[in-house]
Amino acid sequence: MDKNLLVLLLLIPILIIGGDLYLNSGKRNIELVTLNSSLDEKTVQISDANMAKEDIPKMREVIKKLKLQYDEIIRILPTPQQAEILIKQTIPIADKWIQFTELSPMTKTNNKMTVKTSTGDAIIDYSEIQMKMTIKSSFAKLGQYLQELENLQVQSVRKLVDVANLDIKVEPNSEQLLVAMEVKTYTLGEK
């Protein structure tokens, strides 16, 4: 009886475990496949994260360079308040060198520029402030006036002033030049 009882005691757990394995093996296989799939996804995510981690120093260097470029742009571009002062300064300095024959009021145009970056396109909002003028001058005085424009400052900082659409004609029967041009400056943003 001891042998029969011992066999029965050993057989019952084996039957229970075997039956459980037989009846639930499909569910367990599905769970294993799901867990393996999840493990594969996590492995790919870890690999991507490790590659991104390697790019961090490069991105920091790119950001550092962009910051330096941005700081330089901010240094040479006037603020919106400074832009008006800057353009208005073109008139008093002209009195030393030239005679105005026509002067149009300042106009402001808001623009957008798309710039390609390593992370995609970036849109920059900027404003262009301009004044059109026609002047009479000699070559030498025109050169001096353009030099003064290049050196215009606001609060002791030289700012970007652009002369565009420069059209120089010699007046008939005179040594005077008739010069049409636009004086422009730019600000970041549309304010």
174 φ/ψ angles, rounded to the nearest 5 degrees: -155, 160
According to the per-residue pLDDT averaged within each range, which of 26-30, 37-41, 83-87, 117-121 is highest? 37-41
Burial 87-99 (b: 16+ CB within 10 A, else e): bebbeebbeebbe
Q: How far apart are CA 54 and CA 133, in angstroms?
A: 55
Show the tokens assigned to 124: 């920059």
| CA atoms within a 13 Å half-sphere pointing along the CA-CB vector of 15 | 6
Q: Say what the alpha-carbon torsion angle 75, 77, 82, 86 is, to the nearest 10 degrees.
A: 120
Give the chain's mean pLDDT. Answer: 79
pLDDT category of residue 189 using cuts at 50, 70 and 90: low
More confident residue, 153 or 191: 153
User: Domain residue spans in the chain?
Assistant: 1-76, 80-188
Residue 168's pLDDT is 92
Q: How far apart are CA 176 and CA 138, in angstroms?
A: 5
Is the Cβ–Cβ distance between 188 and 74 less than 8 Å?
yes
Show the tokens assigned to 167: 């059209």
pLDDT category of residue 93 using cuts at 50, 70 and 90: low
> Which run of H or of E encompasses 144?
helix 139-150
Name the pTM for this structure: 0.52
Average pLDDT over residues 13-36: 76
**E runs forming strands in the chain:** 99-103, 107-117, 120-137, 153-154, 157-158, 162-170, 177-188
| pLDDT tens track for 35-79 | 888 888 988 888 888 888 888 888 888 888 888 887 777 777 777
Q: How far apart are CA 187 and CA 74, in angstroms?
A: 9
Q: Is the dihedral angle over the CA atoms 47, 50, 52, 55 positive or is it negative? A: negative
Q: How far apart are CA 62 and CA 5, in angstroms?
A: 78
Q: How far apart are CA 151 and CA 159, in angstroms?
A: 8
Q: How far apart are CA 184 and CA 86, in angstroms?
A: 9
| pLDDT tens track for 119-144 | 778 888 888 888 888 888 888 888 88
Q: Is the pLDDT of residue 86 over 80?
A: no
Q: Is the pLDDT of residue 191 over 70?
A: no
Domain 80-188 top-level CATH class: alpha beta
